[in-house]
Amino acid sequence: MKTQVVIVGAGPAGLLLSEILHRHGIDSVVLERSSREHVLSRIRAGVLESTTVDVLRANGLATRMDAEGHPHDGMRIAWAGRDSFFVDTWKTLGRRFMVYGQTSIQEDLFAAADRRGQPVLAEVADVVLHEHDGAPGARPYVTFRHGGEARRIDCDFIAGCDGFHGVSRRSIPEGVRREYEKVYPFGWLGVMARVKPLPDITYVNNPRGFALASYRNQNLSRYYIQVPLGDKVEDWPDDRFWPELKARFPGELAEAITAADTIEKSIAPLRSFVSEPMRYGALFLCGDAAHIVPPTGAKGLNLAVSDVFYLSRAMARWYGRGDAAGLDGYSATALRRVWSSVRTSWYLTTLLHRFPDTSEFDQKAQEYELDYLKNSERAQAALAEQYAGLPFEQAD
């Protein structure tokens, strides 16, 4: 079997890449280790930068998003004993972001793949990447098992979109690969409930810990609270979660929160992780295969989309004009946006959470940083620019 691009991973990065490549006349085969049902069952965030919205619209993937998604003009920040304030991305930048769940995006991408007959092989095992190091005469190919049979696909390029635990990043030699990581000393307990959400996405800094009110649709809310790393979901029954959540929100906002039976509950650790480079010979990394950010900045899915945007553009130039400049510059271009988002996520995480080893000095500095952000239009504009999404770099 032969194709132009083998895409490892059928999450949003992998299926979006296959869609855009198809629109440029570039063939691909997608390999996924899990079942489609498992991929669709993964619940993720749903805040889309304006640039992500633009990419989905430009590639015919926005019909449902535009009908069911919810544009937002900004996000609200509150902290104990003070009035909340609104960071207005629309007023500052003329850009809105969209709330549209990642599960819905995944459904839309599978539907698009089905319509065009995209080869997506699910439940593959023992994936191994071969001759992808760019050595003279190397001819990349991928071996795997599917349906109990050994298979091989020859290709020009391999796109590793298989997440943090996938094979792609580990296929870059340790002597070439450099990894950066910061692990935070707490996790997020997240719940979903069929209740009316607060009007704004709201971040809260409270002595009891961080809290967040997010949004799925007009009758579906997503809430989070900061919890110790050792906590388990069983430690947080609904009759404990809702009082704790409301205790962290200021009075009027707390009164607007409706408690109900939760329909999903999970705890996720927080960390920042970046692997460089994002290209090794014929292998290109996209999304969580190369980087993880804490969800505070709502950047994970958006970074995957920006990686795909840059890589698909580079491949289109190569196949269309024989121009390798985009491929050669992919890693550096993608990493500039990655590190910008890593910094934003780190900043918001540091600003809004209570750290177990915080000194009195650190706490005062955090409080005055919040006060500065509240009262400085320029500081809010800088945060709004990062939160709503920086423009993509233009091609040379």
Catalytic residue list contains 146: no
Catalytic residue among 22, 72, 353, 374: 72
Cβ neighbours of residue 6 under 8 Å, at least 6 residues apart? 28, 29, 31, 140, 142, 153, 155, 157, 158, 159
Helical segments of 236-299, H only: 238-248, 251-256
**Cβ atoms of residues 268 and 187 within 8 Å:** yes
Catalytic residue among 197, 277, 294, 295: 295
3-state helix, strand and coil shares in percent for the chain, rounded to the nearest 5: 40, 30, 30
Beta strands in 25-134 (DSSP E): 28-31, 47-48, 70-72, 74-79, 85-88, 97-99, 120-121, 125-130
Cα separation of 222 and 217, whole Å?
10
**3 state DSSP class of 3:** coil
Catalytic residue among 184, 310, 330, 387: 387
Under DSSP, the state recorded for 2 is B
Quickly list DSSP for 172-224.
Answer: S-TTT-EEEEEEEEEEEEEEEESSPPPSSEEEEE-TT--EEEEEEETTEEEEE
Catalytic residue among 141, 184, 203, 223: 203
Catalytic residue list contains 203: yes
Cβ neighbours of residue 203 under 8 Å, at least 6 residues apart? 75, 76, 77, 78, 210, 211, 212, 296, 348, 352
Catalytic residue among 22, 132, 291, 299: 299
Catalytic residue list contains 72: yes
Catalytic residues: 72, 203, 295, 299, 387
